[in-house]
Amino acid sequence: MTAKNIHIKIDELKTNSGLVKNLELSIGKVVNENYNEPMGPTPMPSVTALRNWDLILLNKYQSFYIPDCDLCCLCTFGKCDLTAGKRGACGLDIAAQSARIVTIACSIGAACHSAHSRHLVHHLIEKYGRRYPLDVGGLNIKVEAPITRLVTGIKPETLGDLDDVLAYVEEQITQILASTHTGQEANTLDFGSKAFHVGMCDHIGMEVGDIAQISAFNYPKADPDAPLVKLGIGSVDRTKPVIMCIGHNVVPSIGIIDYAKEQKVDDNLEVVGLCCTAHDITRYYSRGRIVGPISWELRFIRAGLADVVVLDEQCVRTDVADEAAKVNSPVIAASEKNCVGFKNRTNDPTDAIVDDLVSGRVSGVLILNPDKVGEVAVRVAMKVAPMRKRKNVLPTEEEIVASAKTCTQCNQCQRNCPQDYAVPAALKAAATGDLSKLIDLYEVCIGCGRCEQACPKNIVIHSLIVKAGEKAMYAEDNLCRSGRGAVSDVEIRSVGGPIVLGEIPGIIALVGCSNYPKGGKDVYDIVREFASRRYIVAVSGCAAMAAGSYRNSEGKTIYEEFPGGFEAGGVLNVGSCVANSHIAGAAIKVANIFAKRNLRGNYEEIADYIHNRLGAVGLAWGAYSQKAAAIAAGFWRLGVPVVVGPHGSKYRNVLLGRKDNPENWNVIDARTGDIVNVGPTPEHLFSVMETKEECIVKISKLVMRPNDTWKGRAGKLSHYIDLHKRYMGVMPDDIHLFIRTPADIPITMKDEIQKILEENNWKETTIPDPTLLPRMVRKMKE
């Protein structure tokens, strides 16, 4: 508990022991500290405090830049052409410029999560007070904020304590963003280190937001049995008024739910969410519905399903207001970050706002008070729903055919489609009355609408696709497990044995957005592949929605098929974007729980521990946002490998290890100080995969770590080899690099692997107590 700005003034105080006159006592901050852990070397690290650690990683995994753009147009000296080794007016070359853009993207992402958390913390303090206690899992969680403790050295106990944590984050983001101004940072490695730093801050920002909202809104608390909630457009009861909330900040949605409950109309209307707000709605209100990821925005609005659209922040289509106007859906903008040009009506009488929206005098309003948003949204929805009669702008089938006939097959739609889908072919077929190809497109379309923008004939291609896929759309009635929040300490302890004994081959986290190369089914397939093989699979955000959107042969969704615990074969939805912090948090807690390593201000040691020991891999298959970049960067600094789908190459940078270069793979054995070559474990820190198959195989390889016990390594190799054979059709060519002792060889493959080892001149080595930090070498105590 921390108190701030205490001021005591005593004019005169007479006691037996003394006399005090005109005493003024002013204390900036009183910290009541019952946090006994000794402070590590780097509490609240400055921009350069962890630079040495960053350089160790950045030398092991060297940046490979993929310039998505050859020009720099950030200052007025430009545009500068940076091709073929040329430098710009400021002196930067293309590598440094690419690195700079990475750092900028990560800063935007970190700012976004942290500003979201700042708003939550401000709002919750205002509502519940600074002393409101944090509780993320009751007695089952000892370390409530692992990232915060690790980085800042603060153990937050109340909402008020989160203030100091955010203040640190905000300063760091400002410093990093400043370093990207023209004429500041010059070196690619330093830009890399700065991206790591701001990524680390991003994780704190996310953690602060989620532990604040879990505590104050009483979300499921580290609960493996968090309720199963409805997911998909088909799960929405279209006979009731529908309020659709888009974005990431749940506060206005909670205003809506509270008002509806208070007025006892909650059963008479549907509160549905899109993107992460949806997750957080269901964590608060299990009758809430998750419509889907960002890609479902256009289809839901154009189908006329939303009677009121409420916008908060992040990943909200900026043309929602125009789209909503076409179907007469009133819009309420509810975030300072996203005012959409509407008039600020926060202080106007509610009746007047309701009246204006219901009558259509205004198409949208800005309301910055969540309680007022709640009242306006509910009242407007109840009134307009009967009047709107579900106006939709989807074409009829006849109109589809007619429209498709105007297509000149210029191919602009396909050229602009991020996934290069064969839209012209689908239109050609549609022109003959065959809609099957459009229906196929519905299944994989990510709903960006670029095809329409590109069409010189103004065909509303996306609407054609949605109409053709209407039947499938209304059949989307699935289940998602409501976000459970953190992983409990007891769950972590329980998997220690199975991990060292090789029964759990690794931990995979599927996070992030929905820019999928072939639709969300890939995410489902990846989750199911690994969960069936008894990996622990964590999911969050849009990936958690994609995972829940399909069913197995018995008709069960992934959340019904697999348990929701942090356990072998568990599929655990941690929650929204900010809940991603619990995944890194769980990794950090492993070091504390099993090795009793101190967390407090002890970043480098813990990252070294995680990097060398914890077989965890992050996958953002549909990553599109700057936030996803920041999340990835936070994992990089912890030494956790991240894989992205094909569009991830547009982040401009990958961090690749060279398996052909043995020196790359030396670690220090902390027991002896000896240098031990451990092979490419893990091979890359950040890599891009083109196909689902390649991705699955790669992940199974990336879970290997230098500390694996022989049982653990044999298990991991079994899966790697099996998956490689299954998906690539051949044995992998690098098995010998991962076998340290004969015991590592999976027993069912002894003969063939022995042969491979002989062919590759393999030599036995040892299993070290691995570290990259010379200071971690232990000295024999006498």
Partner 1 sequence: MSMFKDIPVEVGVIFEGERIRRNDLQVELGGPTVDKKFEIAKVKSMDQIEDGKVFVAGPDLKDLKEGGAYPLGILIEAAGAQLDAGLEGVIERRLHGYLNYIEGFMHLNQRYDIWMRLGKKSFQKGLNSFEIIGKVLYRLFKNELPIIEKLQITFITDASKIDSLYADALASYEARDAKARGLKDSEVDTFYGCVLCQSFAPSHVCVITPQRYSNCGAISWFDGKASASIDPKGPIFAIPRGDILNEEKGEFSGINEVAKKRSMGEVTKVWLYTAFDHPHTSCGCFEAVTFYIPEVDGFGIVQRNFKGATVNGLPFSTLADSTAGGRQIDGFHGMSLEYMRSSKFFAADGGWNRVVWVPKEVKEKVKDFMPNDIVDKIATEDDAKSIDDLKAFLKDKNHPIVAKWVVEEAVVPTAEDEIAPVMTASTLPISAGGFRIILTDAKIYASKVVIKKDESKAEKR
| Chain residues 657-686 in contact with partner 1, contact rule CB under 8 A | 670-671
* Chain residues 433-472 in contact with partner 1, contact rule CB under 8 A: none
User: Partners of 81 in the beta sheet?
Assistant: 71
Binders of partner 1 among residues 269 to 308 (CB under 8 A) are none
80-139 binders of partner 1 (CB under 8 A): 139
Within 8 A by CB and 6+ apart from 660, the residues are none
Contacting residue, 23, 167, 387, 410, with partner 1 by CB under 8 A: 23
Quote the least distance from Cβ 582 to partner 1, whole Å. 16
Please compute Rg for the chain using Cα positions: 27
| H-helix or E-strand spanning residue 684 | strand 684-688
Give 470 or 605: the residue with its C-beta nearer to partner 1. Answer: 605
**What residues from 33 to 72 belong to the interface with partner 1 (CB under 8 A)?**
33-34, 36
Return the amino acid letter for 748: T
Structure tokens at 676: 């031990």
Least Cβ distance, residue 531 to partner 1 (angstroms): 9
Torsions phi, psi for 387 (to 5 deg) = -75, -40
Q: Least separation, in Å, of the C-beta of 707 and partner 1? A: 4
Cβ-contact 58, 192 below 8 angstroms = yes
Judge contact between 55 and 188, C-beta under 8 A: no
Q: 3-state class of 191 per DSSP?
A: helix
String marking each residue 594-633 x if it binds partner 1 according to CB under 8 A: xxxx---------------x--------------------
Of residues 73 and 728, the one with the C-beta less far from partner 1 = 728
Of 694-723, binders to partner 1 (CB under 8 A) are 707-712, 714-715, 718-719, 722
Name residues contacting partner 1, limited to 219-238 (CB under 8 A): none
Chain positions 157 to 186 lying near partner 1, rule: CB under 8 A, are none
Contact letters (x/-) for partner 1, 485-524, by CB under 8 A? ---xxx--xx-xx-xxx-x---------------------
Q: What is the smallest separation between the CB atom of 521 and partner 1, expressed in angstroms? A: 22
Residue with Cβ nearer partner 1 (157 or 470):
157
- Smallest gap from residue 498 Cβ to partner 1 (A): 9
Query: What distance in Å separates the CA atoms of residue 542 and residue 540, rounded to the nearest whole number?
Result: 7
Q: Could you count the other beta carbons within 10 Å of the beta carbon of residue 180?
A: 21
Nearer to partner 1, 613 or 701 (CB): 613
β partners of residue 688? 644
Among 533, 582, 600, 637, binds partner 1 (CB under 8 A): 533
Of the pair 302, 534, the CB lying nearest partner 1 is at 534
Interacting positions 545-574 with partner 1 (CB under 8 A): 554, 568-569
Q: Which of 27, 352, 387, 475 binds partner 1 (CB under 8 A)?
A: 27
User: How many other C-beta atoms can be found within 10 angstroms of the C-beta atom of residue 681?
Assistant: 26
Residues 738-757 that bind partner 1 (CB under 8 A): 741, 743, 746-752
Query: Who contacts 541 (Cβ-Cβ below 8 Å, separation ≥6)?
Result: 275, 276, 279, 293, 511, 512, 513, 576, 577, 579, 580
Give me the count of residues in the chain.
782
DSSP string, 249-272: --HHHHHHHHHHHHTT-GGGSEEE
**C-beta of 51 vs 719, nearer to partner 1:** 719
Residue burial 731-754, b: 16+ Cβ < 10 Å; e: rest: ebebbbbbbbeeebbbeebeeebe
Q: Binding residues for partner 1, how many (CB under 8 A)?
A: 77
Choose the binding region for partner 1 from 47-55, 285-293, 366-374, 772-780 (rule: CB under 8 A). 772-780
Which tokens belong to 526?
A: 């990846």
Query: What separation in angstroms does the CA of 522 have from each of 372, 481, 688?
Result: 41, 19, 15
